[in-house]
Chains A and B, each alone.
Chain A
Amino acid sequence: MTSGVTDYYAVLGIPRGLNLSLDALQQRYYELSRQLHPDRFMQKPEAERQRALDMSSALNDAYRTLKDPVKRAQYLLGLEGFDIGEQRSKDVPPELLEEVFELNMALEEMRGGDDSARPQLEQAEKTFAKMLAESDQELAALFVKYDAAPSREILTQIRNVLNRRKYIQNLVSEVEKTLIPT
């Protein structure tokens, strides 16, 4: 979607990398916002106002993407030419096969009105939350590793973690939806 037209790292004036200090990023963002926000250009000619609008929207898009570790990693993968399509996240990670099978059974029961599956689902929710936290740690470690010595191999590992994470996240929201029907 972003098709590499705007380089978010360039917008924020920081080197390409994955392990970013959020405090420093925020400070940089605030500084640039003070300079680029359309509010600062209200008394200027139309062309300058339009430019401020373009630049501050790019700045906001960049900050929104880079401050979030998952979005940041996806973005960098895109920049490096990795395919980060949706379909990959639909494949069940092999190590989760058994758990997903059991979970689906429980979800079916619950949706069918059988409330006895509730404790099992609540337990699953906790298990998956823990898995999410683990993959976040895994990502953080890979980020450090990548910044020290960038390689496609690490990026591939990151992509695999992201896919697995996305898969788990979808499961969690399924469970949440079933436990608290809207």
Chain B
Amino acid sequence: MEIDFTSSGHIVGIDLGTTNSLVAFMDLTGPRIIPGADGDKLVPSVVSVTPNGGTVVGNPARELLITQPERSVYSVKRLMGRGIEDVAEELKLFPFRVAPGSESVMQLQLGNRTFTPPEISALVLRQLKQNAEDYFGVPVDKAVITVPAYFNDAQRQATKDAGRIAGLEVLRLVNEPTAAALAYGLDKRENGVVAVYDFGGGTFDISILKLHDGIFEVLATNGDTHLGGDDIDNLLLRIALEDVASEWGQDLSTDGEGVQRLRRAVIQAKERLSFVPSAMIELEYRGKKYEREITRELFDKLITPIVDRTLGPCRDCIKDAGVAVDQIDEVVMVGGSTRIPLVRSSVENLFRSKPHTELNPDEVVALGAAVQAAILSGTVDNKLLLDVTPLSLGIEIMGGVVSKLIHRNSTIPASATENFTTGVDGQTNVLIHVVQGERELVKDNRSLARFDLKGIDPVPAGLARIEVRFLIDANGILSVTARDQRTGKEHSVEVKPSYGLTDEQVEKMIQESVEQAEQDFSARQVREQRVEADAILLAVGKAHKHGAYSELADEERAAIDKSVNEVMLVYNSDDHHLIAAKIEQLNQATIKLAENMLKGTQT
């Protein structure tokens, strides 16, 4: 394949969502979504492993989720950058199977294979990359990927790792609400204060931005990375499971397929309820039938606690942004869950203005990512995003207390320097514990990493003076550098991330992923050759009955029959070259036959 390294224009924008993912790009007419081979713009973020160990992504995987739930995984975004203890509650509701040995890095068991959450996300990304490559006809290896604004450092790093594993250079992580604002500001508004309420499948974000002649300055952001449509699904699912248990006298919750069928029924009812006042949850399974009507009224009552959980972060965000509610010119709605009427009315009540719903809430984030990709490639030069870090960054000091270095809602890139010294004579290293969060005690915050400052000159206690610089880059990811103030020497900083993968692990996964992709690719080529073989065998079979066939010489007929046999012999082989060679042989053997048949039709 000819690789065009000069076409740096193909930087794609990717919305890696909890429920669905999309890939988009920007041309002269503006940003647009690239559909998959099936014509669908949304690629469900579902991965399924086939019995022979291959992987399936998107719509086909969503079907397999029903029939082989034990080999399928969805909503893996909720596990990105999380420790096993964080997701214990989560795992009760999702059919995820954690593989043994997941203490340091979580591993999910799918059939006979295990995957970390970034590897699952990488499979989704690889599919989107493939869709873009099929669309452009050239390789795509650079991307802007969106993340929830409220994602912490580990969750961002995990997303970046997923990109690398998928063979993508992640030029930028952009916060989802900010991306939405960029797409919105592109065609709706140039100046003013805009709030973006982003309620998706698994995460909730609220961001308030000031738009000023092409500058998109985020004033504040807030959210909950574990709050979304999934929670509504799980709530309804629990109710339906209880119903089924009492009606059928059968606990369906241990039946993987039954749960997934019921989950799908519940989601369908939820989605209908956004448009009609009443909907049925219907399940027909193994000869039994369950039906239940849910009215909008009951639905609203059930989900009120979930919707209310979005309002606290909204109030905090307004306060942090330093604006009054009536100074907010627009509220833009993003994410599938904003189709729910109760969500819309709650937002309207809080912001005292009718929210904007005319943009497709599923697509706007990906479109914004494509705009950011165009900004990075230099094709759009009058727009600039100034985003913030969602969480305060601090270090552990005496007594397990946090000393904040960079406060939340600081515009990124942002930095802070702090001086450290030794506490014991001759001490040659200092351990620094970095945390993220708003609470005063270390134990109530998120541990990010432990840094070991090594190679300090052995001097009396308190004499060493090491300046440590903490830098949060434009992706919201932390890096640390250290310098000895006395000697001017740069110190090596050894990072031990509290959650997530080491560089070595990511490298190994990239390697494995390339190998797997090769296998998957060769499996695809085998399938394609079999389709070819089917076609030619069918054509030759039909030709047997044609007059032109009987006109052939005996040895010509014998050559055709021999080639047909050989194609059938290699048909089930895994070597696509071999199948192709035999097809070609049959092709050659039938040239005269084909010519004669063609002549026959012409005369």
Chain A interfacial positions (CB closer than 8 Å to B): 1-3, 5, 30, 33-34, 37-39, 42-43, 53, 56-58, 60-61, 63-64
Whole-angstrom distance between the alpha carbons of A67 and B94 in the complex?
Answer: 47
With contact pairs A33-B215, A53-B473, A64-B410 given, residues A39 and B415 touching in the complex (Cβ less than 8 Å): no
Measured CB to CB, the closest approach of chain A to B160, in angstroms, equals 15
Task: Give B163-175 as 1s and 0s: 1 = Cβ < 8 Å from A's Cβ atoms.
Answer: 0000000011000
A-chain residues with CB within 8 Å of residue B385 when the two chains form the complex: 39
Question: Chain B residues with Cβ under 8 A from A42's Cβ?
Answer: 171-172, 376-378
Q: Are A1 and B418 in contact (CB under 8 A)?
A: yes
- B215 adjacent to A53 (CB under 8 Å): no
Chain A min CB distance to B215 (Å): 5
Chain A residues near B375 (CB-CB < 8 A): 39
Measured CA separation A43–B412 after assembly (Å): 20
CA distance A34 to B215 in the complex (A): 8
Which positions in B face A, CB cutoff 8 Å?
8, 171-172, 212-213, 215, 217, 375-378, 384-386, 410-419, 467, 471-474
B386 CB contacts on chain A under 8 angstroms: 33, 37, 60
B413, A57: Cβ atoms closer than 8 Å: yes
Q: Known contacts A38-B473, A43-B378, A64-B410; is A30 also within 8 Å of B215 by CB?
A: yes
Q: Would you give the shortest CB distance from B308 to chain A, in whole angstroms?
A: 17
Pull 16 A–B residue pairs with CB atoms less than 8 Å apart, ordered by A. A1-B416, A1-B418, A30-B215, A33-B384, A33-B386, A34-B215, A37-B384, A39-B384, A39-B474, A43-B8, A57-B413, A57-B414, A60-B410, A60-B414, A61-B414, A64-B410
- Looking at B171, B473, B474, which has the most chain A CB atoms within 10 Å of its CB? B474
In the complex, what's the smallest C-beta–C-beta distance from A53 to chain B, in angstroms?
Answer: 6
Q: What 13 additional pairs, Cβ within 8 angstroms, besides A2-B417, A33-B384?
A: A3-B417, A3-B467, A34-B384, A37-B384, A38-B473, A39-B384, A42-B172, A43-B378, A53-B413, A57-B414, A57-B471, A60-B386, A61-B416
Query: From A31, which residue of chain B is reached at the shortest CB distance?
Result: B215
Q: Which chain B residues border A61 with CB–CB below 8 Å?
A: 414-416
User: Could you tell me if A60 and B413 are in contact, using CB atoms closer than 8 angstroms?
Assistant: yes
Tally of A-B Cβ pairs under 8 angstroms = 64
Looking across the interface, which residue of chain A has its beta carbon closest to that of B411?
A60
- Residues on B with C-beta less than 8 A from A39 are 172, 375-376, 384-385, 474
A58 contacts B215, CB within 8 Å? no
Which residues in B have their C-beta under 8 angstroms from that of A58?
A: 415
B215 and chain A: residue at smallest CB distance? A30
Question: Is the CB–CB distance between A53 and B471 below 8 Å?
Answer: yes
How many Å lie between the Cα of A3 and that of B386 in the bound state? 26
Q: How far, in Å, is B415 (CB) from chain A's closest CB?
A: 4
Residues in A with CB closer than 8 Å to B378 are 42-43
Distance in angstroms between the alpha carbons of A61 and B412 in the assembled complex: 9
Interface centre among A1, A3, A39, A43 (most CB of B within 10 A): A39
CA distance A39 to B217 in the complex (A): 14
A108 to B230, CA, bound (A): 44
Nearest Cβ distance between residue A72 and chain B, in whole angstroms? 16
Q: List residues of chain A with CB within 8 A of the CB of B217.
A: 30
Across-interface contacts of B172 in A (CB, < 8 A): 39, 42
Pair A57/B415 contact, Cβ less than 8 Å: yes
Q: Please name all residues of chain A whose beta carbon is closer than 8 Å to the beta carbon of B419 when the two chains form the complex.
A: 3
- Contact, CB under 8 Å: B384 / A38: no
| CA distance in complex: A112, B467 (Å) | 45
Q: State the CA gap A2–B419 with chains docked (Å).
A: 10
Cα–Cα distance between A80 and B8 once the two chains are bound (Å): 49
A43 to B419, CA, bound (A): 35
**Most chain-B CB neighbours within 10 Å: which of A1, A3, A57?**
A57
Compute how far the CA of A3 lies from the CA of B415 in the bound complex, rounded to whole angstroms.
14
- Which chain B residues border A37 with CB–CB below 8 Å? 384, 386, 474
The CA of A3 and the CA of B416, in the complex, are separated in Å by: 11
Bound CA–CA A58/B471 (angstroms) = 10
Among residues of A, the one whose C-beta sits closest to the C-beta of B386 is: A33
Choose from A1, A30, A38, A64 the contact partner of B414 (Cβ within 8 Å): A64
A2 to B410, CA, bound (A): 16
Q: Known: A34-B384, A37-B386, A39-B376. Is A63-B411 also a contact (CB below 8 A)?
A: yes
Q: How far is the CA of A43 from the CA of B417 in the complex (A)?
A: 29
Measured in the bound complex, the distance between the Cα atoms of B213 and A34 in whole Å is 11
Q: Report which of B8, B376, B377, B413 forms a contact with A56, defined as CB distance below 8 A.
A: B413
User: Within the complex, what minimum Cβ distance (angstroms) separates B459 from chain A?
Assistant: 20
A3-B417, A53-B471 known; A30 and B411 CB under 8 Å?
no
Measured in the bound complex, the distance between the Cα atoms of B172 and A53 in whole Å is 13
Q: Which residues of A contact B410 (CB under 8 A)?
A: 60, 64
Sort A-B residue pairs by CB-CB distance and give the 9 closest, nearest first: A57-B413, A42-B376, A60-B411, A57-B415, A38-B474, A30-B215, A56-B413, A60-B414, A39-B375
Least CB distance from B102 to A in Å reads 33
Distance in angstroms from A23 CB to nearest chain B CB is 11
Whose C-beta in chain B lies nearest to the C-beta of A56?
Answer: B413
| Nearest CB in chain B to that of A34: its residue | B384
Closest to A57 in B: B413
How many angstroms from the CA of A33 to the CA of B217 in the assembled complex? 11
CB distance from B182 to the nearest CB of A (A): 12
Contacting residues, chain A, for B418 (C-beta < 8 A): 1
Whether A64 touches B215, Cβ cut-off 8 Å, given contacts A3-B419, A43-B8, is no
Query: A60 contacts B417, CB within 8 Å?
Result: no
Q: Are A1 and B212 in contact (CB under 8 A)?
A: no
The reply to whether B415 and A30 form a contact with Cβ atoms under 8 Å apart is no
Q: Which of B384, B417, B471 contacts A5 (CB 8 A)?
A: B417
A42→B471 CA distance, assembly (Å): 18
What's the minimum C-beta distance from B475 to chain A, rounded to whole angstroms?
9
Nearest chain A residue, comparing its CB with the CB of B405: A1
B413 to chain A, nearest CB (A): 4
Q: Is the CB of A60 within 8 A of B412?
A: yes
**A21 shortest CB reach to chain B, Å:** 16
Q: Kindly list chain A residues whose C-beta atoms are within 8 Å of the C-beta of B416.
A: 1, 61
